[in-house]
């Protein structure tokens, strides 16, 4: 059996790590990197740290508007898939690469599987929400990470026979990486000059960083928090100079270049509290039991609020400060979320194998 796995952004690579071994044991797997993320810390470094071979194909599309980037991926991907003629196209996450892969495969009438299906924020102003909806409705196998994702898919009229509750691939990769990350935690904190008690900050979503009033309010809250507690802020490439300008003069605010996966997990695991707008970080902190404050008005991962350690606080400066201080005071308590156990990749592999053997018996 031949599988084509389409990836393009940092979260995709983390999810690929959970799939590569269980699927690679019995398939001829071809990894296609669209080049949506091309910064070394966002791309090449992760393959090394996650013990993944370099992609078999790199389309090198680079940046652009959503339409430009999606169109370039589609143009580059179509001849690759035609030449490969895979038995299944595997798509992960909700980025433009995911959408482009789903559309090309659907037009070519190639079976598709969507890993991380059914997540919904209810906010169609998020580009990722549009991607999630479209990908799920053209996919043949839908792998849901949580019960609420299954409910969302059923509510939209998707055939229940195509939906599989399997758990969270992000947690598979986290579980595998924790020993290495924890072994370097002390060195990483020393490198950035932060004590045992610190906060970790990540910001990158357009709704957070593209509106100066929103970004200013969030960074104002962070500066206020940093007066009491050192804050480490790995700066996403798309934020860059704006973040550094807003952070100028703020005490105890440590700005760094983007971090590799292991360094980031080392900090995330040992932080007193995490402030973020990232979906994956909401999941990781819940599994680790680290208090998390999410500076968004909606989340496609509500299970991290109901069963995990996440607080959804929006963009109000006062609320961010107060909720972060309250979260920091909480004791660490790892969440118990069904099937978030480090075994999701194996469950996906079994479903895929059964589905493909039904179509093409051995």
Residues carrying an active site annotation = 204
Per DSSP, 83 falls in state H
What SS3 class is residue 241?
helix
**121 contact partners, CB below 8 Å, separation of at least 6:** 128, 129, 298, 299, 300
**233 contact partners, CB below 8 Å, separation of at least 6:** 201, 202, 203, 222, 243, 247, 253, 254, 255, 256
**Distance between CA 106 and CA 102 in Å, rounded?**
6
DSSP-H helix ranges across 163-288: 169-183, 185-192, 206-209, 212-226, 240-247, 261-270, 279-288
**Distance between CA 314 and CA 16 in Å, rounded?**
30
Q: Which single residue is written with the structure tokens 């910001």? A: 203
Q: Which of 311, 23, 319, 325 is nearest to 166 (CA)?
A: 23
What SS3 class is residue 167?
coil
Estimate to the nearest angstrom the gap between the alpha carbon of 198 and the chain centroid.
23
**Distance between CA 20 and CA 26 in Å, rounded?**
11
**329 contact partners, CB below 8 Å, separation of at least 6:** none
Tokens describing residue 286: 């819940």
**Distance between CA 97 and CA 102 in Å, rounded?**
9
**133 contact partners, CB below 8 Å, separation of at least 6:** 120, 156
CB-hemisphere CA count at 13 Å for 249?
Answer: 3
Residues in the chain, total: 362
């Amino acid at each position: 059996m031949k599988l084509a796995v389409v990836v393009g952004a940092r979260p995709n690579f983390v999810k690929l790590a959970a799939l590569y071994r269980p699927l690679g044991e019995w398939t001829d797997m071809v990894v296609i990197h669209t080049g949506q993320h091309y910064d070394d810390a966002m791309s090449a470094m992760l393959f090394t740290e996650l013990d993944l071979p370099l992609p078999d194909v790199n389309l090198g599309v680079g940046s652009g508007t959503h339409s430009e980037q999606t169109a370039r991926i589609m143009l580059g991907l179509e001849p690759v898939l035609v030449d490969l003629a895979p038995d299944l196209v595997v798509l992960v996450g909700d980025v433009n690469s995911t959408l482009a892969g789903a559309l090309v495969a659907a037009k070519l009438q190639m079976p598709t599987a969507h890993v991380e299906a059914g997540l919904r924020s209810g906010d169609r102003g998020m580009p990722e929400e549009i991607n999630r909806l479209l990908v799920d409705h053209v996919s043949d196998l839908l792998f849901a990470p949580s019960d609420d994702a299954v409910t969302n898919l059923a509510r939209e009229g998707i055939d229940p026979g195509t939906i599989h509750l399997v758990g969270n691939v992000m947690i598979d990769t986290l579980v595998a990486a924790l020993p290495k990350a924890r072994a370097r935690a002390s060195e990483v904190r020393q490198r950035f000059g932060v004590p045992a008690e610190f906060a970790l900050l990540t910001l990158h979503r357009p709704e957070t960083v593209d509106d100066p009033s929103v970004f200013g309010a969030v960074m104002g809250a962070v500066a206020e928090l940093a007066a009491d507690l050192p804050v480490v802020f790995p700066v996403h490439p798309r934020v860059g100079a704006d973040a550094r300008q807003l952070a100028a003069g703020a005490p105890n605010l440590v700005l760094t270049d983007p971090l590799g996966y292991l360094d980031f997990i080392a900090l995330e695991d040992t932080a007193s509290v995490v402030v973020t707008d990232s979906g994956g970080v909401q999941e990781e902190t819940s599994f680790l039991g680290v208090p998390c404050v999410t500076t968004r008005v909606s989340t496609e991962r509500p299970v991290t609020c109901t069963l995990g350690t996440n607080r959804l606080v929006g963009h109000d400066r006062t609320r961010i400060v107060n909720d972060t201080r309250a979260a920091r005071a909480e004791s660490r308590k790892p969440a118990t979320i069904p099937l978030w156990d480090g075994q999701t990749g194996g469950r996906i592999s079994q479903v895929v194998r059964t589905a493909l053997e039904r179509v093409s018996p051995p």
